[in-house]
Structure formats: structure tokens, C-alpha cells
Amino acid sequence: MQGLSGPSPRRILMTADAVGGVWTYAVGLAAGLAERGVETVLAVLGPQPGTEQRAAAASVPGLVLQSLPLPLDWLASSPGEITHAGEAIADLAAHGMGIDLVQLNTPALAAAARFRVPVVAVSHSCLATWWRAVRGGPMPDEFRWRSSLATRGLAAADALVAPTAAFARATAVAHGLSRNPATVHNGRHPAAVRTANAAAPFAFTAGRLWDIGKDAATLDRAAARGRFPVLAAGPTEGPDGSRVALPHLELLGSLPARDVSEWLARRPVFVSMARYEPFGLAVLEAAQAGCALVLSDTPGFRELWDGAAAFVAPGDDEALARAIARLLEDAEHRAALGSAALARSRRYGVAAMTSGMLAVYAAALSRTLAMSRREMQA
């Protein structure tokens, strides 16, 4: 199929997991691709999608959901488990499904597998960049072999993508790439929930609270300093057994996406103090609801939200408490910041993300076609 900017696939195979933001990204992209005439086979690794997630996938025209008994790269116990998963994905793409291109949302899956169609690897996060941002110093052995597989997968792919230019640069440095991955900002549709007229008098956060890269602990310390309620939606225990204690937050537990959207529709002050956040779909959803944003001052957040959020140095709970208090006390400033976030969020829609990825697909397919012609003429 020929698009305006080059060849376009009719059907792609895309990997995903049901644990974090990659699921939201993948289903949103599949919906955008469907509107442009491209079908998606969504291969899910790791913990299987829940009822709400399956319903979201079923709403996308032409989407085929394949739940595979394969581990996520960061939960695998050996390199062989990851290379076997990559081989299984390559085998799935090769047999009778009409796949024209594979998008791996886990680049390590390309490390040893032989794909018969172009492979686009999208780096949403990786252990090497996470370690540099959160821990620092030499990586432990269990991280090193995982990072090595990611490096091999990035080198093997036909095209590389990252969700921000900041993360593209970090990925290139961490994995010794000769050039930065292409930047295609993530996108999502605004939630179909009516926003409240009056902003709610509390702060709010949502996400994987157990992940120390999200640094919910700094928000917990800020809540202890302030005279304001802070509500937090998300799990405090991860699939790898990681736990976090957050005694000063009002914990809502893991909520369905609809419930999170309804909390955001009340327009609380939304906080993310993540030390490591390659994009941040929860921040985008909050901005789409018109929430005033308070964010950690990291390169990725600056790229996306500079001029449309209040920024606080990572780990500075005292400054965070002051920033939240100011917004809760100053309605005019809060309204202005919420309006700025809403306006900025319109840059990060599904249509723009889809167009960006289709351009990457077209370039990868064009290179493959040109290589095939040269081989035939040789």
C-alpha cells in the first residue's frame, strides 16, 4: 500500500505489555493506524491484559489480540528467555498473518531473532538509562546482561524511535549508538469525561507508585510538610515484588482507567516527581483534563512541558510542598497553569503520533525495497 510519503504497511505486528504505559500507547497507536487503513496484531508479553484492557483492545477496528506466555525483558531470569521470546515473535510474524512490518516496543527482542520483514524498535524505557538516572555508578550483573541484549536489539533493528528527543539522546549515549533514534512524541485521546467547573482542593498523582524511578517518596515527604491532602492512584507493589511505603499519601490503590479519568476531571494539582520518565502518559492525561502540573525538572519534562508546568528539582520535597501550596492557594495562577497545560497537550494527540510512526514505517519499508532491488540486480 502506497501512502503520501512512501509505502505503508497493510498489517503490522506490534508487541506490548499490560503492566504500564506501553499498553495505553500501543492501543492508542493501533486505533490511529486503523483510521489510516492499517491493521494491528498486538502481541502481549508478561502478565495478561485485564477485562478493561481487553475491552479497550476490542474497540479498535481490525485489532487482533495475541496473548503470549512469554516473559517481559525486565522479569526474565536469563538471556535465553528474552532471545526465545524474540524468536517466538519473529515466528508469529512469519506465518500466515500477512504481516508487513514489526514494531517492537521492547528492542531487546530483536537481539537474536531473524525477522523476514522490517523491524521498527521503539525504546520507551531501558535499564541502562533508568540506572543512570536513578542509581548511578556501575550496573549490577543482572542489569548488565539485560542492557547488552537491548544494545544488540537496537543495533539489529531497521529503524529506531524514542518518545522524546531527550530520551533519544540518552538512549544513544547509554547504548553507544552512532546516531539518535528518531523522535515521535507519544499521544493519546482525551478521556470522555466532563471536567468540573471548580478545581478540586487537593493534589493527585497516578502511576506505578512502587517504581523508585517515579519517586513517590518525595511526594510523600512533601505531603508530610504541607497542610493539603495528596491522593495517589496506583499499585504500591510491583510484579517483581518491589514495595514502597507512603504513609502520608491517601492511597486509592489500582484503579480502572475510567476512575483515574474521573479523578483528573476534578482538576486537582497533578504531581509527577519522577527521576526517570521517558514521556509520561499520566502527565499528558492530566494536562488534557486541564490540571495544573507540578513536575520534576528533568530534560524530558522540560522538552514537553516547558512554559506549561511548575518545575521542582528532583528530590526536593520542601520546594515541592511550596509549589503545591501556592497553586492550591492562588486560584488565578492555578487556572492559568492548567490552561497552559491543556493547550500544550493538543500537540500530543494520536493523529500526530500516528503520522510520525507511519513516516518511520515508510522509510523502513523503502530501504528494504531498495535493498531487495539491488540484490536482484546483483
Does the pLDDT value for residue 374 go beyond 70? no
Report the alpha-carbon distance of residue 340 to residue 304 in Å, rounded.
Answer: 12
Mean pLDDT of 214-232: 97
Q: Which domains does the chain have, with CATH numbers?
A: 2-188+349-377 (3.40.50.2000), 203-345 (3.40.50.2000)
Q: Please tell me the least confidently modeled range out of 109-123, 194-208, 272-286, 299-313.
A: 194-208
Backbone φ, ψ for residue 317 (5° rounding): -70, -30
pLDDT at 19: 84
pLDDT at 162: 98
Mean pLDDT of 212-239: 96
Strand 119-122 versus strand 101-104 pairing type: parallel
Mean pLDDT of 114-134: 96
Mean pLDDT of 6-28: 93
Q: Which of 273, 269, 270 is nearest to 313 (CA)?
A: 273
pLDDT at 5: 58
pLDDT at 196: 84
Report the alpha-carbon distance of residue 83 to residue 224 in Å, rounded.
Answer: 46
136, with CB counted inside 10 A (0-12, 13-18, 19+), is: exposed
| Number of other residues whose CB lies within 10 A of the CB of residue 87 | 15
Mean pLDDT of 97-115: 97
For 293-340, the pLDDT digits (tens) are 999 999 999 999 999 999 999 999 999 999 999 999 999 999 999 999
* 29, 36 Cβ separation under 8 angstroms: no
Q: Which of 331, 257, 261 is nearest to 292 (CA)?
A: 331
- CA torsion sign, 254 to 255 to 257 to 263? negative
At residue 372 the predicted structure's pLDDT band, cuts being 50, 70 and 90, is low
Does the pLDDT value for residue 1 go beyond 70? no
Q: Which of 275, 263, 317 is nearest to 300 (CA)?
A: 275
pLDDT at 108: 97
The fraction of the chain above a pLDDT of 90, given in percent, is: 87
Report the alpha-carbon distance of residue 48 to residue 43 in Å, rounded.
Answer: 10
pLDDT at 376: 64
Locate 124 and state its grid cell. Answer: 520507551
Q: Please tell me the least confidently modeled range out of 68-77, 99-108, 124-133.
A: 68-77
Compare 5 and 262 and report the one with higher pLDDT.
262
At residue 117 the predicted structure's pLDDT band, cuts being 50, 70 and 90, is very high
pLDDT at 328: 97
| Number of other residues whose CB lies within 10 A of the CB of residue 55 | 10
What b/e string do you get for 16-39 counting C-beta neighbours within 10 Å, with b at 16 or more? bbbbbbbbbbbbbbbbbbbeeebb
Does the pLDDT value for residue 370 go beyond 80? no
- CA torsion sign, 175 to 130 to 187 to 273? negative
Indicate the residue type of 6.
Answer: G
For 248-307, the pLDDT digits (tens) are 999 999 999 999 999 999 999 999 999 999 999 999 999 999 999 999 999 999 999 999
Locate 173 and state its grid cell. Answer: 549515549
Strand 39-45 versus strand 159-162 pairing type: unpaired
Does the pLDDT value for residue 73 go beyond 90? no
pLDDT at 68: 93
